Amino acid sequence: MTQPRQFVIEADGGSRGNPGPAGYGAVVIDPVTGETLAEAAEYIGVATNNVAEYKGLIAGLKAAKALVPDASAEGVLQVRVRMDSKLVVEQMSGRWKIKHPDMKPLAAEAARILPASAVTYEWIPREKNKHADRLANEAMDAGKRGKQWEPSASTAALHLPPVSGPPGDAAAGAAKARAAMSTRRETAATPQVGWGAADLGAPATFVLLRHGETALTPEKRFSGSGGSDPELSAAGRHQAERVAESLAARGTIQEIISSPLRRCRETAATVGARLGLPVQIEDGLRETDFGAWEGLTFAEVRERYGPDLDAWLASTRTPPTGGGESFAEVARRVSAARDRLTARHAGRTVLLVTHVTPIKTLARLALGAPPESLFRMELSAASLSAVAYYADGNTSLRLLNDTSHLR
């Protein structure tokens, strides 16, 4: 059975006078990557805070629905609404009665947009709702000038997946992204190809977690599957706790699969304990066997096995000294594991706890990049990456080497 597409909606509303000039803001977010998928904001004239908050909720739900075909059907979409309005959250969750006559029709309208089973509500403090709050204030500012909110004029934080490269004009980039979102909403009813192929169903999404540090990690020693199988260091255990906290806050992981090596199993166990999920083992996710290089630094390998190292760097088909695995062999092993797991977990979001080479290999294959790209990626301990695999065979690299949860 295909698993539902998952979104987070953050919404807010405000009134300068209560009642007074009022506006709302809402944003739809991909919970895996943090990417902003849609925004909505509007000046609504004179109204109360609560009316504006409900209007923001309605706009957010409608924006999420517009992104997914057949969103009204059961099991197609799952939405987590986050608001700093205790009143709206408790009333829409059914724990508080709706007594005010202005609230009842708005709550009823919100409840009709998506099936009740598709929406959950969560209260968050105001400081964690800054994007929607900024949009609401921009809408009220526009109303004060006798205008409506325009996406191109917004300065609200626009969360996109991290990118590498030279710094650019962040404001211009956000404006372009908002323009693209606006176009996507306008053409939602038109069959799309490429990036717009929303009819392919929910992908199998693999969130790729590199294990936490061991004693070998900060010394940059080769540590594969043919060495001592080290445990996590104190720093590595702390990293595992931080990533577990971050993943618990996102609330999207449905299963956990780990490499059989100890450092991954310990990292996965920490996350699993926090999420209440068991850990499965997949041998195909183990690290490269680095042969005689296990436990050595790059400089030590250069000194002892210089010609072998040069050959290894020149070709992914060359194994390390002493009968280890070539990167080409690792790619075949990881590809086979990927195929097994995507077939088994279509439509689900699965955490794969693994190592540098398997994660880089999955990213490389997702991009169709050449083998030498393995040497051109940075992958930190306890970092998160993500790849989505669609039913037609297409892939999307959504995240690479995210360490924001460690800062």
Catalytic residue set: 211, 287
For the chain, state the CA radius of gyration.
24
d(CA 76, CA 67): 12
β 20-29/395-402 pair status: unpaired
Tokens of 379: 């992958």
Amino acid 63 reads A
Which tokens hold the place of 172? Answer: 């211009």
Q: Which of 239, 252, 278 is nearest to 398 (CA)?
A: 252
Count CB-CB contacts under 10 A for residue 256.
Answer: 22
Tokens 């990118």 -> residue:
163
Amino acid at 214: T
**Rounded Cα distance, 150 and 147, in Å:** 9
Identify residue 116 by its one-letter amino acid code.
A
Alpha helices in 256-353 (DSSP H): 262-275, 298-314, 327-344
Partner residues linked to 297 by β-bridges: 221
